[in-house]
A and B are shown apart, each in its own frame.
Chain A
Amino acid sequence: MLTRLISGDTPRSPVLAALLGAILVALMFAPFLFPGVRALDTAATICIFILLVASYDLLLGYTGIVSFAHTMFFGMGAYGVALASIHMGRSYEALITGTVLGAAAAALFALVIALFSLRVRAIFFAMITLAVASAMAVLVSQLFQITGGEDGLTYRIPRELTPAFRLGEIFDTRINGRILNYYLVFFSCLMLFLLLLRVVNSPFGRVLQAIRENEFRAQAIGYKVVLYRTTATCLSAAMAALAGSLYAIWLRYVGPDTTLSFEIMLDVLLMVVIGGMGTLYGAVLGSVIFVLAHNYLQNLMGAGAEMFQNIPILPDLINPDRWLLWLGVLFVLSVYFFPTGIVGRLRANR
């Protein structure tokens, strides 16, 4: 049953299986295990980034296409929900309409980009996506009346998904709309992740992997490479947009910095590399490690600096202000010790 649910793509390593199981349990019971607004926010961000990174891995890891427009698609989903909520009012219809239109617009945009650039060398696709994503970020920033410009947009979502809505208590935890919102994000991300697993383990996914390995060989056994690459690009873009929509529902705010920035694109790239390319479980590990480091490394370093304040140099080295430096060091070390990503290494050691 479980093997069927994960489309036969078993972890193939006891350590990996244990890690994935622990992450699933931790995320599933996050509101009860890790009380507090910040912890819940971190758990929701992890869920959303797992989906976003997995959708990027479909493109990079499974198809061998480098894109810099993934956050643009993520932003399309987020702005879709925001604009629909503003124009249609606080309702579930607005959320659904914004989500569907955001995903459709992302897929359509991806189709146009793919048709223009995937016929030629893959590097042109990367360049075109970079240009289009930059143009979109500028456009969003300048179309202030529609997008709120650099300030972004705040909007209202159905009351049942906000902290104001209270349901009662379970295990000493107050159940409110924020927790319902978390479970909406969690189960949506889980279902979409399982769908992505189904895609990459289907005959379609095998063809993508064949194309990644050698496109001419794939053509020589009869596959239309451009068609498959284009389909993967559209699917990946739609998934990124769905992740964006969930992020918008969770945050109740969208802005260029939270959804469209190139910084997020780099983060996604790092998460794919750290976790391991060409395996969706890599997206899970990469996202968990990166988001946790992003949210808690600074605190950890602050505590460490305080603990070692009597030792010379060390407190300066682990000063919380230098957290980005240590995040960089963590990345370099992980690439050095796990060139095939954490999942690749764990599977090799089984």
Chain B
Amino acid sequence: MSDALLSLENIRTDIAQYHILKGVSFSVPRGQVTMLLGRNGVGKTTSLRTIMGLWQAKEGTLTFDGADITGAPISARARAGIGFVPEDMGIFGDLSVEENMVLAATNGMPDPARLEWLFSAFPALRTFWKSQAGALSGGQKQMLSIARAMIEDRKLYLIDEPTKGLAPAIISTMVGALRTLKQQGATVLMVEQNFSVAKALGDQAVVMDDGVVVWTGAMAELAESSALQERLMGLSMEAH
């Protein structure tokens, strides 16, 4: 296994009086796609938000690229190289598609070659380049959200349910783009409910239940074992 880019050690996160993460520990290997799996409400999104700093960990240690980022502000984590695609897409609806993309480029000027690649992966972005982002369809907003995170090379991409609520054709576009990202050697930690997408993209899998990690291993191993899926997530491979 490659060395870890990101490590969570005994992370506990509370939201109001609720204990959501109850001691989460796992690592994200460099250059691989790690799928964060589990049933609804087990703490997957909270884990991503805690890594990004949107929720503060009450206990535990977050190590990113060798540095302790447990108490770092959100913007510092982003500038350290973490790109975040939230579940609600996180685009700026009042701004144009172009402005959304330009905002995410560190020096305010996206690399033309990179932009061309994103246009080929998500052709709708070129079509609606000058349009207000808030007027895009759900699928287009998701494409914009992912493209915005990819506008520059990030050390780590945190992607929360990129295919949620999307039409099959758009899911296929999305998976194609993420597969290209994977082939470029990107490190990704992704929450995904669609098991076939998780299977297609994932190298590693981390399964959570009730705020803790219950299994970690190779995605292929999980995909091959219906019994394991049934035991860990209450689903069977045949269903997908």
A-B contact count (CB 8 A): 57
Contact B52 A213 (CB under 8 A): no
Counting chain A CB atoms within 10 Å of each CB, which of B73, B75, B90 scores highest?
B75
Within the complex, what minimum Cβ distance (angstroms) separates A58 from chain B? 15
Interface residue A214 (Cβ < 8 Å from any Cβ of B): yes
Residues of B close to A46: CB separation below 8 A? none
A interface majority secondary structure: helix
Interface-facing stretch out of B13-21, B97-105, B175-183, B228-236:
B97-105
Q: List, in ascending order, chain B residues with CB within 8 A of A218's CB.
A: 103
The smallest C-beta distance from A121 to any residue of chain B, in angstroms, reads: 16
Chain A 203-236 interface residues, beta-carbon cutoff 8 Å to B: 203, 206-207, 209-210, 212-214, 216-225
Chain A residues with CB under 8 Å of B78's CB are 219-222
List chain A residues, Cβ under 8 A from B74. Answer: 216, 219-220
C-alpha gap A207/B53 in the complex (Å): 20
With A216-B54, A220-B84: A210-B103 Cβ-Cβ less than 8 Å: yes
A79 shortest CB reach to chain B, Å: 37
> Are B104 and A206 within 8 A (Cβ)?
no
Complex CA–CA separation, A207 to B104 (angstroms): 10
Which chain A residue lies CB-closest to B149? A221
The answer to whether the Cβ of B2 comes within 8 Å of any Cβ in the partner chain is no
Once the chains bind, are B94 and A209 in contact (CB under 8 Å)?
yes
Q: Is B93's CB under 8 angstroms from A213's CB?
A: yes
Which residues in chain B, 65-93, are within 8 Å of chain A measured between CB atoms?
Answer: 73-75, 78-79, 84, 86, 90-93
Is there an interface contact between A206 and B99, defined as CB atoms closer than 8 Å?
yes
A203-B108, A206-B95, A225-B75 known; A220 vs B90 contact (CB < 8 Å): yes
B92 near A209 with CB under 8 A, answer yes
User: Chain B contacts of A216 at CB under 8 A?
Assistant: 54, 74
- Interface contact A213-B54, CB-CB below 8 Å: no
Interface centre among A209, A212, A221, A224 (most CB of B within 10 A): A221
* A222 B90 Cβ-Cβ under 8 A: no
Residues of B within 8 A of A (CB): 52-54, 73-75, 78-79, 84, 86, 90-95, 99, 102-104, 106, 108, 148
User: What is the interface of chain A, defined by CB distance below 8 A to chain B?
Assistant: 203, 206-207, 209-210, 212-214, 216-225, 278
17 contacts between A and B (CB under 8 A): A203-B103, A206-B95, A209-B95, A210-B95, A214-B92, A216-B74, A217-B90, A218-B103, A219-B53, A220-B52, A220-B74, A220-B86, A221-B78, A221-B104, A222-B78, A222-B79, A225-B75
